[in-house]
Every structure is written in structure tokens, then in C-alpha cells.
Amino acid sequence: MIPPETTSKETSDMSTAEGSPKHSGVAPEAMATKRRSTGGQAINVVGLKAFYGSTEAVKGIDIAFPANEVTAIIGPSGCGKSTMVRCINRMHEEIPGARAEGSVKLDQVDIYGQGVDVTAVRRLIGMVFQKPNPFPTMSIFDNVAAGLRLTGTKGGDLRERVHRALRSVGLWEEVKDRLNAPGIGLSGGQQQRLCIARTVAVEPEVILMDEPCSALDPVATLKVEELIDELKERYTIVIVTHNMQQAARVANTTAFMLGGELIEHGPTNDIFTTPTDERTERYVTGKFG
């Protein structure tokens, strides 16, 4: 839909050197078959710009999210971190008047490339939202199964996959006796883990989390953070957070954004203790934002 405007020289050189298939024009099936059983693939963002109408919310970002690691995005409100993350699975374009430029590569395939099916992109790059949003008309079981049913995924035992997803988010023991109860009857924290289970059930490569704990109490937050730590063994995780302690607790690397630009990205420890940019330091020490 949106052709990549900028593809930096080095990335294109790199991919040809590795002899990977063509970036653009790759059928979604090809993307799906490239999955590894271990799961988790790296994401490479090059020259990403995002617009709402004529407002530029993300002003040309290059960032890499390593496979099977947790990357936290921090920054003050309105810095474009949510927008940037929503560009990674093309949810950004669901907003009327919104568009994106640049390239986002999932294992060498540009998800903005020609012929790429947007539903295939989202199946491989799942998303968890700020507010828990289970489907109100569905039971707990159906909520987790929804991803599989909505994508028309055939094969495999549905029941088994749902149970496995619920176990992997640590919700199984809490809900195993009431799988047919409505999903919205759960507590906020349980709902959010249900939503993560729904995402995990589709078995994506990458999970994007847009402030997944900001609507949760501290106990529920802790559970989700522990869950993130477990999930990174199978998935690449990008988490947007307002909570710097949270970034420090869960993330391998942390990126600081300000005014639509990426200011600094490095190992979490370095960002919080020895940031190279003065603005990062002022933010992490609480002097602004």
C-alpha cells in the first residue's frame, strides 16, 4: 500500500550479501513458512516516518529490535513512541488520515513492501494494548480461540492450543474451571493476561506491547512483567512504557524517544546509569517529562 520511500544503502547491501529472498513482492505464505520453531525474529526499522494528516509524529527513525530480547521504548507523552510501535505491525494505518514511510523489516522482509498482505504481517507481529480489550460477547475459551478463528487458521487441536496459551500466560489455574464464563468477568490483570494469551495463541514472532500495565494495579503489573520475562524465550518483545522502573526491570535494551525522534538506544543499564545524551539523562533522572 505504502511504498518504502527510503531504504538505506547498508541494509540493502547486507540482505543481498546474505542471499535472502527478495524483500518486496514476497507472498505472505513465504513469510509464514520462514518461521523458526523456536520463534522470535528480529525487526529492523529504517527511516520510519509516520504522519497523522500533515502532522509528522515520527520523524525518521532507525532502530533494530534483536530477536528474543525485550526492548523498552520510553519517553514523555506525545513523543511518538506508541505511533512508532503501531507502525511495526501496520496498525497505524487503521487511523483515518494516518500513513507511514520508510521500511520495517521482519527477518529481511519489508512489511511495507509491495504485495505484502497486511493480515499476514499482523499475524506474525501481535499486539497487546494499553487497556485490556477482551471480546465482550465471547467466553474465556473463545477469546483465546478468537485469534485462530478470526485468521481462519486450520489444523492443530484448537482446544490444545487454547489450553497451552492459557498456561503460558499463567492463567490456566485461575480459569480452568470456568472456561465458558464471559471473558469480561475477569479482573483487570486477568483480562490483560487473557489478551496476551489471545495474542500468543496465534504464535507470532514478535509481540508489541503498548503500555500493557498502565491500567493495572501493582500486583497484576508484576505478574505481567514476570510473564514478559518468560515470553522473550519464544518471542521478540517491544514494550512501550511510561514507567521507567518497569523498563529497568524487564528490558534488555531501552530506547528513549523525544519529539518524534529516537534520541538514544542501548543496553537498559547504560541508558539508566550512563546515558550519552544529556536529554536522556534529564529524562531518566526525572528532571523533565
Stretch that binds other proteins, among 91-99, 154-162, 242-250, 252-260 (CB under 8 A): 91-99
CA neighbor of 213 nearest in space, from 200, 204, 226, 202:
226
Q: How far is the CB of 208 from other proteins (least distance, A)?
A: 8
Site pattern 186..215 for other proteins (x: CB under 8 A): ---------x--xx--x-------------
CA neighbor of 46 nearest in space, from 8, 96, 19:
8
> Is position 53 an interface residue for other proteins (rule: CB under 8 A)?
no
Residue type, 284: V
Residues 6+ apart with CB under 8 A from 51: 57, 98, 99, 100, 101
Q: How far is the CB of 15 from other proteins (least distance, A)?
A: 24
CA-to-CA distance for 123 and 95, rounded, in angstroms? 19
140, 179 in Cβ contact below 8 A? Answer: yes
Q: Collapse the DSSP code of 208 into the 3-class scheme (helix H, G, I; strand E, B; otherwise coil) and give the result.
A: strand
**How many of the chain's residues bind other proteins (CB under 8 A)?**
29
> Is position 89 an interface residue for other proteins (rule: CB under 8 A)?
yes
Question: Considering only residues 19, 136, 218, 286, which one is a binding residue for other proteins as defined by CB under 8 A?
Answer: 136
The residue (of 215 and 222) whose beta carbon lies closer to other proteins is 215
Q: Tell the burial category of 64 from Cβ atoms under 10 Å away from its Cβ (0-12, 13-18, 19+).
A: middle
Question: Considering only residues 45, 84, 146, 271, which one is a binding residue for other proteins as defined by CB under 8 A?
Answer: 146
Q: What distance lies between CA 212 and its chain's CA centroid?
A: 11
Question: Considering only residues 38, 55, 151, 273, which one is a binding residue for other proteins as defined by CB under 8 A?
Answer: 151
Stretch that binds other proteins, among 42-50, 90-98, 158-166, 269-277 (CB under 8 A): 90-98
The residue (of 74 and 120) whose beta carbon lies closer to other proteins is 120
> Is position 122 an interface residue for other proteins (rule: CB under 8 A)?
yes
CA-to-CA distance for 199 and 34, rounded, in angstroms? 19
- For 22, other C-beta atoms within 10 Å of its C-beta total 14
Question: Considering only residues 40, 102, 126, 275, which one is a binding residue for other proteins as defined by CB under 8 A?
Answer: 126
Question: Considering only residues 37, 54, 152, 157, which one is a binding residue for other proteins as defined by CB under 8 A?
Answer: 152
Q: Which residues pair with 123 in a beta bridge?
A: none
Q: Are strands 70-74 and 109-110 parallel, antiparallel or unpaired?
A: unpaired
Q: How far is the CB of 245 from other proteins (least distance, A)?
A: 26
Question: Considering only residues 38, 55, 114, 119, which one is a binding residue for other proteins as defined by CB under 8 A?
Answer: 119
Give, as one character, the DSSP assignment of residue 42. Answer: -
Q: How far is the CB of 51 from other proteins (least distance, A)?
A: 17
- For 251, other C-beta atoms within 10 Å of its C-beta total 26
Chain residues that interact with other proteins, rule: CB under 8 A: 89, 91, 94, 96, 119-124, 126-127, 129, 131, 133-137, 146-147, 149-152, 195, 198-199, 202
